[in-house]
Amino acid sequence: MTVWSCELSVKTKGEGEVVDITSMVSSAVRSSGISNGIVNVFVVGSTAAVTTIEYEPGLVHDLSDILERIAPKNHPYKHHEKWSDYNGHSHIRAALIGPSVSIPLRDGKLVLGTWQQLVLLELDTRPRERRVIVTTMGV
């Protein structure tokens, strides 16, 4: 079994942006030379998240809408008393969705549904440059 890793950089435009990273991760997987096993995709930082979704505008909008209901921006977060960065909602949303996903690899390809894209969610209140760690394990 081989373990391989690389780091991708993703520039985000700001809060609520959902970036389809499927093709960049697929090409990283091709570079790894690993055909069968698993890939883990992890975003560094506590105000971004990685998940899968059907990447179509309506659903991307719905996701932001529901996140606002679950962790509203105007809630009096204790976090604001510590740093005054007013991104308590960003941290909570990121914690609930999570920073990583693992996807099976079969014959050099990610095993994803036709309507299942791999996405990076920018949840912070400003544009960021995100570090995404791609780790493949397998043969």
Binding site for Zn ion (CB under 5 A): 85, 87
Q: How far is the CB of 11 from Zn ion (least distance, A)?
A: 20
Distance CA 89, CA 40 (A): 26
Which CB atom, from 87 or from 136, has the smaller least distance to Zn ion?
87
Q: How far is the CB of 48 from Zn ion (least distance, A)?
A: 12
Which CB atom, from 12 or from 136, has the smaller least distance to Zn ion?
12
Which CB atom, from 107 or from 129, has the smaller least distance to Zn ion?
129
Q: How far is the CB of 65 from Zn ion (least distance, A)?
A: 22
94-97 LR contacts (CB < 8 Å, sep 24+): 94/45, 94/46, 94/47, 94/48, 94/49, 94/121, 94/123, 95/46, 96/70, 96/71, 97/49, 97/50, 97/51, 97/121
* The pair of three-digit structure tokens given for residue 107, joined into one six-digit string: 């014959």
Distance CA 104, CA 136 (A): 10
Q: How far is the CB of 88 from Zn ion (least distance, A)?
A: 7
Closest CA relative to residue 48, chosen from 21, 69, 26, 30: 21
Which CB atom, from 69 or from 82, has the smaller least distance to Zn ion?
82
